[in-house]
Amino acid sequence: MNISNQEKIKLVMAKDWWETEDLGGKIGKVKVSDGPVGLRCLAVTDSWANDSIYPSVAYPCYQMLSQTWNLSLAHKMGRAIADDCIDHNVDVILGPGVNIKRTPLCGRNFEYFSEDPYVAGMFGKSFIEGVQEGHVGTSLKHYCCNNREYSRYWLSSEVDERTLREIYLKPFEIATKAKPWTVMTSYNLVNGVRMSANKKLNQVLRDDFGFEGVIVSDWEAVQDPLDTLHSGLDLEFPHNAKHAEVMQEHLAAGRVDLECLDTSAGRIVALGENAAAEKKLQKVQYSVEERIAISQEVEEEAIVLLKNNGVLPIKEGKICVTGAPARNYYHGNGSSAVTPNRPFVPLDEALRNVGMDAFYSESIAKAYGPLILVGNIRKACMDSEQSDVTILTVGTGPGAEFESADRQSISLSKEEADAVRYLRKHTKKLVVVVYAGSAVDLSEFDNLADAVVLAGFGGQNVSQAVANVLTGKVNPSGRLTETYAYSLDDIPSEHTYRDEGVMVYEERLNVGYRHFETHGIDVLYPFGYGLSYSRFKYSDLKVRVNEKDVDVSFWVENVSDVDGKEVVQVYVNEVNPIVYRPIRELKAFDKVFVKAHDKVEVQFKLAKDAFSYYSTAKNEWVVTPGHFIVEVRKNAHEIELAERVKINL
């Protein structure tokens, strides 16, 4: 195909807001769309106009998806979203986001999986595999170190090389094994260089991670289009008329590296050809109703039971439901905000649908970001006195968690804190259900409630899923994928240096549970934590060191009368490291179903990278021969089994 250099410049600049350039039909065009917790597809391609969004299935946010600890569900949800894309002729969904939850204040945390790079990478990989199995492409994002929304276009994330490799690049290294069609760079700078023009990290993506697809900018992230092209970015989104004019001027003046231009333009042509070939293979696997059911299935496995003094599951009695999230759909806002294709079902209605005697009484009526509308809370207290169980729903929402801005604190509203105190005085049994996309301060709610349930941003069928868990139709099996600290002051990233131009990652490797466990700091709920209606017992750990890997096996027994699913977690601890290493790091996990009074054997194979660290002296991953402790834990803080072994891989 004969394509002029002027046309190649057009190819690397995008055609409009959501489509690549097709040179008047000369090559294939690729349509992309926001997501990825549901399709945010617009009826127009030349703007970001919210009033033109097609209704679609709203799935649980990534925080909730990861809390399933079930990679097959990530794959299944990805495959369902591929069907949504097929319905609207979308070639590439802009996700998944695998950025690390460095701080609970990040406004986009609901779009990210975890504070742990292994969890984030594995869920990103499974989601990509699910989407692309449906012959729809993905855009792994936001590469990298986009861990706050504060001044996101201009702030430089200052990160040392080892921390980059072990924490912030690791999820991308894992997820790129699924061969995403594209990778999207983040808005921010890293170590003084804008990510859309960061040649060093683009080369890491290509040379070290083996990525062969298209590197694309986040929307309006490019500042210097020539520098960006020469640094390895292939495609600027959206179309920028001024940049297109400048690039043609650079071309005419001989300032464009034609080899770079040929390479990037060639990748755009290949992307179009691949999308066209994949489109011929597309076939919808799930009906819309089946996709909605998948959304509910994910939420049911993601809900975390944080506290239970015997009040749950609710089997009978009169239930008073109150609080704003019970009657209003809570979700994160911004580019991942989906317009649900079915009406929201209130929680009291969902409870009645499963046979419970439930009614709604207004207390906190609505939330407009930090502004809370309080209704007749006195009547809600009176209604609670006449009920057997009161369910108070609290949380954040689209006005509090959204793209482009960070939260001001991790506290819920003062009015909701008041409500839990007032209701505690009047109700026999108090259940608090929390709707939030990231960690919040639940210490007061935990103290006063008989049970605390994390529903998160659970998608359009969140009420049905919560009702099933509260009544025992579903045994809760979700586990946290981020730490819930007692105070924001306990988060190390909140005490590091930041000014008008830089944000220094002074805590280095001490992110999330790595910090709390290494330094012995108490938390409200540790990473990996969650309760069940079943009880499980672990036994018979065996660790066998082979020539190139390590086999780990043990048994999990259900010692209760209730069938249940248990999340098993394997951590590794180097006994006498020659460099600093956190006291433990997650290296394997699974979710296993165990029938009542039955047991199952769980097996893992730990490869060399489970024991390695990144050596900046050698510029490679290194395993120091010596002793390691392989730990089987219920969560990062509670150990079940452990064995010390000598490793020389």
Catalytic residues: 218
Backbone angles phi, psi at 456, to 5 degrees: 60, -155
The region, left, alpha or beta by phi > 0 then psi within -120 to 50, assigned to residue 456 is left
The region, left, alpha or beta by phi > 0 then psi within -120 to 50, assigned to residue 369 is left
Q: Which residue has the tokens 């489109």?
A: 279
Helix, strand, coil percentages in the chain from 3-state DSSP, rounded to 5: 30, 25, 45
Q: Answer for the pair 104, 516: CB distance below 8 angstroms, yes or no.
A: no
> By C-alpha distance, which of 475, 477, 466 is closest to 431?
466
Distance CA(641)–CA(634), nearest Å, equals 10
Q: How many CB atoms lie within 10 A of CB 629?
A: 17
Q: Answer for the pair 31, 22: CB distance below 8 angstroms, yes or no.
A: no
Q: Identify the DSSP state of 167.
A: I
Q: Answer for the pair 584, 636: CB distance below 8 angstroms, yes or no.
A: yes
Q: Answer for the pair 506, 496: CB distance below 8 angstroms, yes or no.
A: yes
The DSSP element (H or E) to which 162 belongs, if any, is helix 161-163
Q: Is the peptide bond before 238 cis (omega within 30 degrees of 0)?
A: yes
β-strand pairing of 92-93 with 137-143 = parallel
β-strand pairing of 626-633 with 92-93 = unpaired
Q: Taken in order 406, 33, 16, 186, is the CA torsion positive or negative?
A: positive
Q: Which residue has the tokens 């906190």?
A: 364
> DSSP of 516-584, one letter per residue?
HHHTT---SB-TT--B-SS-EEEEEEEEEE-SS-EEEEEEEEE-SSS-EEEEEEEEEEESS-SS---S-
Distance CA(586)–CA(579), nearest Å, equals 18
Q: How many CB atoms lie within 10 A of CB 544?
A: 12
User: In this structure, what token pair is assigned to residue 191?
Assistant: 């170590």
Cα separations in angstroms, 304 against 98, 517, 578: 21, 21, 38
Q: Answer for the pair 27, 276: CB distance below 8 angstroms, yes or no.
A: no
Q: Answer for the pair 92, 136: CB distance below 8 angstroms, yes or no.
A: yes
Q: Answer for the pair 127, 177: CB distance below 8 angstroms, yes or no.
A: no
Tally DSSP H helices, then E strands, for the chain: 17, 26
Distance CA(97)–CA(177), nearest Å, equals 15
The strand ranges marked E within 404-531 are 430-435, 451-454, 502-504
Distance CA(304)–CA(478), nearest Å, equals 5
Q: Answer for the pair 175, 124: CB distance below 8 angstroms, yes or no.
A: yes
Distance CA(602)–CA(531), nearest Å, equals 20
